[in-house]
Amino acid sequence: MDRIASFCVDHTTLLPGMYLSRQDGPHGEILTWDVRMKRPNQGSYLSPAAAHTLEHLFATYARNSQYSSGVVYVGPMGCLTGFYLVTIGLTPAQALQLVQDAFAWMARYDGEIPGASAVECGNYRMMDPVAARVEAAAMVPVLQALDAEHLHY
């Protein structure tokens, strides 16, 4: 089998940030974004409960934002170092603005976690809103320092 694109990225050099991971579709309109919150293999990872909480918040925010029609998927990386955001028809500037706005919102969010019930989620008790706010807040300055022209590995 061929190696998938994300395994071709040198994870020893990755820093927190937002990177265009891949471009798909007949016109390159489907963009997969690597929203990297932690340096890989450095011993500091998102806790499963914080990642799960951030997943609920990030997906809810993205799918309710002005960019909602361009959001295909929001989900955590299995390595617990960040999230994937898949968009269609959004420019890099729009995707970055969405992520900047989402993380600023998550950093201050102090309400009920959307979808955190037995009816809506397969592991609704595994949530840590406090840790999620801390992790989101740590990402805000990283994201604010980025510009749409430099979102590459």
Residue 146 parent element (H or E): none
Sheet holding 30-36, edge to edge: 17-24, 30-36, 82-88, 71-76
* Per-residue pLDDT at 8: 81
* Per-residue pLDDT at 84: 98
* Per-residue pLDDT at 98: 98
Question: How many residues in the chain?
Answer: 153
Tokens of 150: 């430099």
Q: Give per-residue burial for 128-137: e unless 16+ CB within 10 Å, then b.
A: bbebbbebbe
Mean pLDDT by 10 residues, the chain (153 residues): 84 94 94 97 96 98 98 97 98 98 98 97 97 98 96 92
- What are the percentages of helix, strand and coil residues in the chain, rounded to 5? 40, 20, 45
* Per-residue pLDDT at 15: 95
Tell me which residue has tokens 């918040």.
57
Q: What is the DSSP string of 24-87?
A: ESTTS-EEEEEEE-S-TTSS----HHHHHHHHHHHHHHHTTSTTGGGEEEEEE-TTSSEEEEEE
